[in-house]
Chain A
Amino acid sequence: MITQERYRTTVKELLANGSIKMAIGYRLGSTPDRRRPLFIRTSEEADQLVLDSTCMTNLSGYLVTEGLLSDEKKVGIFLRPEGIRSINILAAEYQLNADQIVIFGFDSTGRDVRPLDGRNVGEFSKLLNEIKEHPLQIVKEPLHWRIEKMNAKERFDFWQEEFSRCIKCYACRQACPMCYCRRCIVDSNQPQWINTSSHTLGNFEWNIVRAFHLSGRCVQCGNCDRACPVNIPLRLINQRMANEVLDGFDHFAGLSPTQEPVLASFKKDDTETFIL
């Protein structure tokens, strides 16, 4: 509660003195444990701000809305550490200018919400490096360990089973802040590489392509699997890819706004020298 009140005051101040033109946060949703995004432009709107442990959604995707940042004015945004990482990636991929983003960082343990120190993304680098060394809660998920123990065949069957439910609604893509392409490869039909019908093969193609496009970029915010109407544990696939790039290339997505995308860059001491 204290954190929420303080942040309401901060947002009002920054809006009033013109440091930010808008703040993106959370407000009450349709059920007690749901929150929906709030776009604060006025002091009254700031009073609707809610900040508690149920504020899960990574809001950073809203920042790349066409035109939002083109006036070069600053925008504030409420972010958990994963969200801060996605700001770094979006900056590294030139989708936004990190200096335009004012971060209201927070994190929660149990029902407690606490603020994170810093406003500019650069000020969080210590925190993010710590997270790299001590990866997040996801490793505690029992399903993650169950899958890790499976052999290739079992794993394949597991995912086939899961993907068989996919209805190709693309909610995962819409929810993911990293899926900002103007045209997604699934929507490209000249030629149609990825089958759009939701049969097993098509579903596999889609989900595998998404996993590859997010390797080295996913920050484990969980937007995708919360969005999935048929509850496919999507975050786990991306977690696996994140582990691969960490082991293979010592790449932890979103450490800094100048981090080179792992799949587009190569270092001379990379384990795989396939480019040359």
Chain B
Amino acid sequence: MAKIGVFICHCGENIAAKVDCTKLAAAMGEHPGVAVSVEYKYFCSDPGQESVKKAIRDNNLTGIVIAACSPRMHEATFRKACAEAGLNPYLCEIANIREQCSWVHTDSDMATEKAMDITRSMVEKVKRNNILQPIEVPVTRRALVIGGGIAGLQAALDIANAGQEVVLVEREPSLGGHMAQLSETFPTLDCSQCIMTPRMVETAQHPKIRLLTYAEVESVDGYIGNFKVRIRMKSRYVDMSRCTGCGDCITKCPAKKISSEFDCGLGKRTAIYTPFAQSVPNMPVIDTASCIYFKNGKCKMCQKSCQLNAINFEMQDEFIDLEIGAIVVATGFQIQNTAVYGEYGYGKFPDVITGLQFERLASASGPTAGKILRPSDGKEPQNVVFIQCAGSRDPSKGVRYCSKICCMYTAKHAMLYAHKVHGGKTHIFYMDIRAAGKGYDEFTRRAIEEDEASYIRGRVSKVWQENGKLMVRGVDTLLGKPVTVVADMVVLATAMVPQSDAKEFAKNIGIAYDEYGFYNEAHLKLRPVESSTAGVFLAGACQSPKDIPDSISQASATASKVLALFSKEKLEREPVIAINNEATCAGCWGCVLACPYNAIEKKDIRDRSGRLIKQVAFVNPGLCQGCGTCVSFCRSNSLDLAGFTEKQIFAEVMGL
């Protein structure tokens, strides 16, 4: 006989203000199989939990329903209480009468009715619940960090400094990401390279970090604590065990006119190259698309110049298979293709540049050695116009969000320009100045007050060229009239967008993303660094536009999550897994294909003499994640999900 306890929580006023809890408790008390039905102000509190435990013991309850908030909030809490009272924790169910009822309804009577339906259906379910035991799986204590920008470096260093192994995979020839391209950084104006390069070196030399540059993640299988990851080492054509980074090959390479990605097209590089002088590792790669030898079979100048015989034109991509316990995704962002703004003339007028290009101009290691010189004629611009939100907050261009950093870096650019070009004039078109952050508002005020940046509130409609000058037409919404500013150079604060392959990559490693391609966190407020997949964490701008301090904080947060995971030898997993009925399985292997975790195997059924009678599907409990995909696929209804069996769900539905 079922003896179910129903515990109805007021959640202070959250539930009780809409749902008549007394009436609900009385109604549930009448329901067949319910032995106890009580209400209380806060069941999650210490006395609340104690009263649940006492009720379980005193009445020998066979199952309990907590009618309260979402199971996401307190399922774990009450399961624990259950276990402490000697009842199997999986005999506890939560009826969500807050998020799914009191919070979303205005009519009290109807809300009470609905709360009864919800609670009753959970009572019907819990009556059919079975005792389940958590599954234990071993944890591989080795983390994979994908992306060697500042976020990835921070995560890798934090994990490694705590003594755990890290594999860091970066797809470019060098570590660094975007931060390596920056000149000076807000809000302190310290030199980006000076704070970045030491970390790159520390990472490369760390005994616990295995650094794989010019490498990409080919595939990820498995699950939390036990991922199997395959890495593709793209062929550099330079043998890293021999190369010392002397750079002789680079000087000799005759293909010198290749537009440098690192300098955003403002500088040139050779076909065998390192992205920048401080690259880590400081070993070149051959860009086969530009190499003369790869194009027409003749040259090999680099090979001849290399004293150490490090250059190997026959090199092939290699694969490395890794066992990994946790993954930190720190793949960063890219800037929007500004060509979508035809009206601003990017690509048409050489002196209309992006903010990132401005960083290269202002950088001491950049193509102009830190002098602000305009690309068209190399002259120092006397008038510079900055256009903020050139891409962000513009639904018509597909970016509704705020890129968060542009207000700050535009103010920074105005300052750097003022410091470098005395007497130069800046105009900044903006929509709002968003400078929330420690020291941020002070920073933009400084740009206005000390460095005389002239802010014009309004959008720019058009940029065109007239008599060798750039004409910027916009509107000053505070004065309510159109303005035209004559400029020598225009800098666009381009939107931060996801990497172009972000969605593909997410599918490859099995995490969720939003409409733009930024990776989704498990819960925007409560679990901001976990991805939707257990054991995969998110750091930096791949999750949403972020500045350096935010990227670093999030990276350290992922490190703490990884370390918490690695603090145990075994991991307890929910026993919610699929089970197959071998008698009815037709062996169609649809489920084998459908399972996103490759958890289903083919199993031979043999008679006593060992003769094969048939093959059926077998769910590997270690691999199954309980997603239920196979259950919904199976035509013969042979698969079922523990904890959410068809019987339980059916009873739940019929209880409504």
Binding site for B on A (CB under 8 A): 93-95, 180-185, 188, 190-191, 193, 213, 260-261, 263-265, 268, 273, 275-276
Contact = CB atoms under 8 A, between A and B. Distances in A.
A94 B638 CA distance: 17
Contacts, number: 65
Given A182-B585, A265-B594, 4 more contacts: A94-B587, A94-B615, A264-B590, A276-B510
Name the residue among B584, B586, B635, B637 with the largest chain A CB count within 10 angstroms.
B635
B593 A260 contact: yes
A64 to B, nearest CB: 9
Given A94-B587, A191-B646, A261-B590, A181 B636 contact: yes
A183 B506 CA distance: 38
B110 interface: no
Contacts of A190: 646-647
B629 interface: yes
Interface of B: 504, 506-507, 510, 512, 583-591, 593-594, 596, 615, 629, 633, 635-638, 646-647, 650-651
Contacts of A183: 583-584, 636-638
A87 to B, nearest CB: 15
Q: Which are the 7 A-B pairs with shortest beta-carbon distances? A: A191-B650, A264-B590, A181-B636, A183-B584, A264-B594, A93-B588, A264-B593
A93 B594 contact: no
Nearest to A260: B593
B636 A275 contact: no
B629 to A, nearest CB: 7
B586 A264 contact: no
Contacts of A268: 504, 507
Contacts of B506: 276
Given A94-B588, A275-B596, A191 B647 contact: yes
A188 B588 contact: no
A193 B590 contact: no
Nearest to A275: B596
A56 B198 CA distance: 79
B647 A185 contact: no
Given A191-B646, A193-B650, A213 B635 contact: yes
Nearest to B653: A191
B401 to A, nearest CB: 21
Contacts of A191: 646-647, 650-651
A120 to B, nearest CB: 22
B588 A95 contact: yes
Given A185-B636, A213-B635, A94 B507 contact: no
Contacts of A94: 587-589, 615
Nearest to B593: A264
A223 B587 CA distance: 24
Contacts of B586: 95, 180-182
A253 to B, nearest CB: 14
Nearest to A180: B586
6 contacts: A180-B586, A190-B646, A191-B650, A213-B635, A263-B590, A263-B633
Contacts of B589: 93-94
A231 B647 CA distance: 35
A66 to B, nearest CB: 9
B637 A185 contact: yes
Contact of B636 (A95, A182, A260, A273): A182
Nearest to A212: B635
Nearest to B589: A94
A113 to B, nearest CB: 33
B650 A188 contact: no
B588 A276 contact: no
A137 B30 CA distance: 62
Contacts of B510: 276
A275 B583 CA distance: 28
A188 B637 contact: yes
B531 to A, nearest CB: 12
B98 to A, nearest CB: 28
Contacts of A260: 593
A273 B510 CA distance: 12
A260 B512 CA distance: 25
A265 B629 CA distance: 11
B637 to A, nearest CB: 4
Nearest to A178: B635
Contacts of B636: 181-185
A67 to B, nearest CB: 10
Contact of A93 (B590, B646, B647, B650): B590
A45 B246 CA distance: 86
A64 B647 CA distance: 31
A18 B41 CA distance: 82
B646 A193 contact: yes
A264 B636 CA distance: 14
Contacts of A182: 583-586, 636
Nearest to B638: A183
Nearest to A186: B637
Contact of B593 (A180, A261, A273, A276): A261
A95 B512 CA distance: 35
A276 B596 contact: yes
A184 B589 CA distance: 16
A5 to B, nearest CB: 39
A44 B10 CA distance: 84
B115 to A, nearest CB: 25
A102 B75 CA distance: 59
A69 to B, nearest CB: 12
Nearest to B649: A191
Contacts of B647: 190-191
Taking each of A188, A190, A191, A275, which has the highest tally of chain B beta carbons within 10 Å of its own beta carbon?
Answer: A191
- Most chain A beta-carbon contacts within 10 A, residue among B512, B583, B587: B587
A94 B590 CA distance: 10
